[in-house]
């Protein structure tokens, strides 16, 4: 790779996006190295339809909708969960899935639905909670399974004609569970250098350096630059738990559309916990938010600065799209840290 040619690296994970912005890393990199953000913020990639479903279910009598904090404010087609809370519906912020199960235990007359989002990092803990709920014979605890798998999305981006990515800064936390092996197929097939990177400032520089070295030497390997947490084979216990509760299914991603085999659905043995099956609701026809570029931002095609709404109409106070809401969202990072 010539020294001065443009190099475009994608940090897949939202935690990386925030860490890069917070430390001001972009300003210290040579001008020809561009970092673009990827689809690794679970709040941001949740489809509008999935939010609409949560909103409709929360209208049902005796339902308590439990959600992780950032999800509260993400706009669906008509309003957000926060808006529902203001109208008096019972929406609660939880910090873990076990909190939601405890709410169910404390409110036997209510039906507690957890708005489940997240990647391989989060979903094993939710699987463990569902196993626990089954063991305790919980009758009033349900999951809206909007969990996603990162590799199908990575593959979609690696093969995309719209964006040419020279290498991936791969997510550290997800890789603790998955290990490095699943990246190998993508790295080889699409010739994308991939480095699993930690979240400290030095970690990120190290990740970038290793990617540049690979690009210079025309290599496309998977490296672990976060060995203190990530092992090649990952955490097989967590994956076993995950597999015992969930099976792979298609899933809709904001910006990327439906990606085959990129989501997790509850297995038949756990269908009594499946909120989508139990609570049949009619979802409004989704309208794309006019002017919002979150979809393009999530694919690294556009920067928040290309968006006409950014900082003018869309602010953290009045977010139009999810990337401005989430504490890991690209637009929020650009807004807060310039």
Partner 1 sequence: MDNKITLAHGNGGRLMHELVDRLRLKFSNKILNEMADAAELNVPGNKLAFSTDSYVVKPIFFPGGDIGKLAVCGTVNDILMKGARPLFMSLAFIIEEGLELSILDRIAQSVKEASKKAKIQVVTGDIKVVEKGSLDKIFINTSGIGVISHQGKHIGTKAKVDDVIIINGTIAEHGIAILNAREKLGFVSGIKSDCRNLNLEVGRCLAASKNISVMRDPTRGGLAMALNEIAISSNLGIEINEEDIPIKPAVKNMCDILGFDPLYIANEGKFICFVDKKDASKVKKAIGKNARIMGKVVSNHKKEVHLKTEIGSGRILPMLESDQLPRIC
Strand-strand pairing, 246-253 and 257-266: antiparallel
Q: Could you say whether residue 23 binds partner 1 (CB under 8 A)? A: yes
Supply the minimum distance, in Å, between the C-beta of residue 338 and partner 1. Answer: 5
CB of 118 to partner 1, least distance (A): 13
336 binds partner 1 (CB under 8 A): yes
**Cα end-to-end span (Å), the chain:** 30
**Contact stretch for partner 1 (CB under 8 A) within 32-40, 188-196, 270-278, 314-322:** 314-322
Q: Which segment (30-38, 153-161, 250-258, 328-336) binds partner 1 by CB under 8 A?
A: 328-336
CB of 205 to partner 1, least distance (A): 8
Report the sign of the C-alpha dihedral through residues 232, 238, 243, 248, in that order: negative
Report the interhelical angle of 330-337 vs 14-23 (nearest 10°).
10
Question: Does 95 interact with partner 1 (rule: CB under 8 A)?
Answer: yes
Stretch that binds partner 1, among 23-31, 240-248, 268-276, 278-286 (CB under 8 A): 23-31
- Of 2, 3, 4, 27, the residue at the interface with partner 1 (CB under 8 A) is 27
Q: How far is the CB of 6 from partner 1 (least distance, A)?
A: 21
In this chain, which stretch among 207-215, 222-230, 235-243, 310-318 interacts with partner 1, using CB under 8 A? 310-318
Nearest to partner 1 of 190, 205 (CB atom): 205
Asked if 327 interacts with partner 1 (CB under 8 A), we say: yes
Q: How far is the CB of 243 from partner 1 (least distance, A)?
A: 27
Using CA atoms, how far apart are residues 149 and 153, in angstroms rounded to an integer?
7
Taking the C-alpha atoms of residue 214 and residue 225, their distance in angstroms, rounded to an integer, is: 13
Least distance CB 310 / partner 1 (angstroms): 14
**List 2, 218, 268, 317, residue binding partner 1 (CB under 8 A):** 317
Does 83 interact with partner 1 (rule: CB under 8 A)? no
Question: Under a CB-based contact definition with an 8 Å cutoff, are residues 279 and 263 in contact?
Answer: no
Beta bridge partners of 11: 37, 169
Residues 6 or more apart whose CB falls under 8 angstroms from that of 242 comprise: 120, 123, 124, 127, 177, 264
Q: Minimum distance from CB of 181 to partner 1 (Å)?
A: 27
199 to 218, contacts with partner 1 by CB under 8 A? Answer: 201
Burial 221-249 (b: 16+ CB within 10 A, else e): bbbbbbeeebeeebbeebbebbeebbeee
| DSSP annotation string for 93-141 | E-SSHHHHHHHHHH-TTSEEEEEE---TTTHHHHHHHHHHHHHTT-SSE
Which range binds partner 1 by CB under 8 A, 131-139, 175-183, 291-299, 311-319?
A: 311-319
DSSP string computed for 178-240: H-SHHHHHHHHHHT--EEEE-SSHHHHHHHHHHHHHHHHTT---EEES-TTT--TT--HHHHH
Does position 312 interact with partner 1 (CB under 8 A)? The reply is no
Nearer to partner 1 (CB atom), residue 126 or residue 222: 126
Distance of closest approach, residue 231 Cβ to partner 1, in angstroms: 21
Annotate each residue in 136-155 with x if it binds partner 1 (CB under 8 A) or - if it does not, as one string.
--------------------
- DSSP letters, 279-305, are S--PPPPP-PPTT--HHHHHTTSS-GG
* Residues near partner 1 (CB under 8 A): 18, 21-25, 27-28, 73, 95, 201, 315-317, 327-328, 335-338
């Amino acid at each position: 790779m010539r020294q001065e040619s443009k190099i475009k690296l994608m940090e897949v994970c939202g935690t990386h996006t925030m860490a890069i912005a917070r430390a001001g890393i972009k300003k210290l990199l040579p001008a020809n190295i561009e970092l673009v953000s990827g689809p690794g913020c679970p709040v941001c990639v949740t489809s509008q339809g999935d939010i609409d479903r949560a909103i409709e279910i929360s209208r049902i009598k005796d339902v308590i909708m439990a959600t992780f904090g950032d999800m509260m404010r993400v706009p669906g087609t008509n309003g957000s969960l926060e808006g529902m809370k203001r109208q008096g519906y019972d929406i609660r912020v939880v910090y873990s899935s076990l909190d939601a199960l405890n709410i169910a235990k404390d409110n036997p007359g209510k039906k507690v639905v957890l708005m489940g989002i997240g990647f391989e990092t989060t979903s094993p803990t939710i699987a463990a909670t569902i196993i626990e709920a089954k063991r305790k014979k919980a009758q009033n605890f349900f999951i809206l399974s909007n969990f996603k798998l990162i590799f199908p999305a990575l593959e979609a981006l690696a093969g995309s004609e719209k964006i040419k990515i020279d290498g991936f800064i791969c997510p550290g936390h997800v890789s603790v569970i998955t290990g490095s092996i699943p990246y190998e197929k993508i790295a080889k097939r699409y010739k994308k250098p991939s480095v699993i990177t930690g979240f400290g400032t030095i970690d990120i520089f190290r990740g970038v350096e290793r990617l540049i070295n690979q690009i210079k030497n025309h290599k496309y390997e998977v490296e672990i630059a976060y060995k203190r947490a990530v092992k090649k084979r990952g955490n097989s216990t967590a994956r076993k738990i995950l597999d015992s509760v969930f099976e792979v299914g298609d899933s809709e991603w904001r910006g990327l559309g439906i990606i085959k085999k990129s989501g997790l659905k509850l297995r038949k043995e756990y269908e009594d916990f499946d909120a989508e099956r139990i609570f049949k609701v009619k979802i409004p026809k989704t309208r794309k938010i006019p002017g919002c570029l979150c979809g393009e931002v999530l694919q690294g095609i556009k920067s928040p600065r290309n968006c006409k709404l950014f900082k003018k109409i869309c602010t953290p106070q009045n977010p139009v799209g999810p990337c401005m809401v989430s504490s890991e969202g690209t637009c929020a990072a650009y807004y807060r840290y310039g």
